[in-house]
Structure 1
Amino acid sequence: MKRIYTGKTKDVYACEDGNYILKFKDDMTGEDGVFDPGSNTVGLQIEGAGKAGLRLTTYFFELLKKNNIPTHYLSANMDEAKMKVVPATSFGDGLEVICRYRAVGSFMRRYGKYASEGQTLDGFVEVTIKDDERGDPPISKEALEMLHIITPSEYDQMVVLTKEISAIVKAELARKDITLYDIKLEFGKNQAGDIILIDEISGGNMRAFKGGQAVSPLELTELIVEKV
């Protein structure tokens, strides 16, 4: 395999069959050793984080498959922390779609004048541009169209998928008395031009609480996925 991309939490390799391998790493986003799914920098490294992320991602992708939600997932190798996926093209250099059920993180940093910490939100969806230098700025549907990053119909499809996927994850967490505060998703287009979920669904890209306490990414995997 040839490594074609080095990311913060995953590396990407090209396979001879035309598909790709995502190698999950133990690096996690955050600052000063504190985990933050909304951070643009690697702030800590926890042994086993990569495999835990893959376990939970596989769990949710298999669940989405049962619900006929299109994703790039093909298979996973837990021992090597690798996931095989189909090729997908990002929108621009990548968009991140956040579904918010509680007012926390960057939402509070921007709208704290009007919102209170932890305030209930009705699955509010916002889109940000993946741009570390500019702090992943939020962007509107109209601006995305004007910049030729995504069409209005593609944007609407992405929002619908975001709400469907987030609702499935939220309901699954609720079965273990875990409250989903927000989740960050990423989409692309497969070779047929269909919009599909890409990247991962793990504790590394969501905020979850149980009994009023934040659940760490590793703890979330242990609570949701049964050990084999």
Structure 2
Amino acid sequence: MVNNYELELLYEGKAKKVYKYNNYKLLIEFKDDVTAFNGLKKNNIINKGKINKQISSHFFELLNKKGINTHFVRDYDDKSFIAKWTNLIPLEVIVRNYAAGSFCKRYGVKKGYKFEFPLVEFSLKNDELGDPMITSEAILLLKLTSEEILNEIISISKKVNEILSRYLAEVGIILVDFKLEFGLSKEDNQLLLIDEISPDTCRFWDAHTMESFDKDVYREDKGDLITAYTEILGRLKI
């Protein structure tokens, strides 16, 4: 386990632990814990962390090759990878290609409605407030980041969506929506895509049956979570 490496634990969240690796890098360990509804539903599912790490590493490596700057450096072990240390921008960026989840609840739209173009939304990354939705104008008024960086975040998010949507379509998976986070590198202040890209933070649907291969399986008690996540591993041949 990571604790045996005698690294300083900097942060522990619902799904990951973050350790100081050196002055400019972190070690990120994926946990087997799974939560939903702001932590009201919680379980520990063996191998969930390992699978999420494998999928996140795979996607980050793909995006790095495609010219998207991410925090991913290299794998460390079966549940951890080394990442560049960043100063977090306290925003969650949600990119939606289809109506699902909270969007349907907010606007009364039928689940599965396909958008004419990708929708980019923001929420304030604040657990105590329940990660409320926030507008671009409010982001700038609260000085959470600059207008230049915000525009760059939007542009990168749309590029990530294009890359991953096309990639997943080749294996019969629809990228319904997903969450991204960003930070500024502690070493050179470069804007980086950070956190994870996994079935915990994305909605993946089978292109033919619309079956879920993501955390909705757990949220909605629709089957075995590991079976669903393993389907992603198999299709991506990880």
Corresponding residue number in structure 1 for 2:27: 21
3-state SS of paired residue (1:123): strand
Q: Which runs of 5+ in 2 are unaligned?
A: 1-6, 215-227
Over aligned residues, Cα RMSD in angstroms?
A: 1.6
The aligned residue for residue 225 of structure 2 is none
Shift of 1:50: 0.6
Partner of 1:223: 234
- Deviation digits for residues 117-142 of structure 1 (CA, Å, limit 9, x no counterpart): 21112210001011223221111111
**Counterpart contact for 1:203–1:220, Cα < 8 Å:** no
Contact in 2 for aligned 1:20/1:86 (Cα 8 Å): yes
Aligned equivalents of 1:28, 1:226: Cα separation in 2 = 24
Tell me the alpha carbon deviations over residues 50-86 of structure 1, each in whole angstroms, 9 at most, x when there is no partner. Answer: 110111111111111111100111111243x111011
Mapping of residues 138-157 of structure 1, within 5 Å: 138-157=133-152
Provide the C-alpha distance between the structure 2 equivalents of 1:9 and 1:52, rounded to a whole number of angstroms.
Answer: 12
Task: Quote the offset at 1:25 in angstroms.
Answer: 0.5
> TM-score of the superposition, structure 2-length normalised?
0.85
- TM-score, normalised by the number of residues in structure 1: 0.88
Q: Structure 1 vs Structure 2: percent identity of aligned residues?
A: 32
Q: Is residue 171–residue 236 contact of structure 2 (8 Å, CA) maintained in 1?
A: no
Change (3 A) 1:55 1:41: farther
- Displacement over 3 Å in runs of 4+: 39-42
Please give the alpha-carbon distance, in whole angstroms, between the structure 1 residues aligned to 2:164 and 2:42.
26
| Contact 2:213-2:232 at 8 Å conserved across structures | no
Is contact 1:53–1:221 with CA below 8 Å preserved after alignment? Answer: no
- 1:181-220 to structure 2, matched below 5 A, reads 181-191=176-186, 192-210=188-206, 211-216=209-214, 218-220=229-231
Contact 1:56 1:224 in 2 (8 A): no
Contact kept? 2:179, 2:201, Cα under 8 Å? yes
> What's the secondary structure of 1:55's corresponding residue?
helix
1:26 touches 1:46 (CA, 8 Å); kept in 2?
yes
* Cross-structure match for 1:61: 60
Distance 1:41 1:28 in 2: 11
Q: Is the 8 Å Cα contact of residues 14 and 21 (structure 1) preserved in structure 2?
A: yes
Report deviation, 1:41.
5.4
Matched AA of 1:75: R
State the number of aligned residues.
Answer: 215
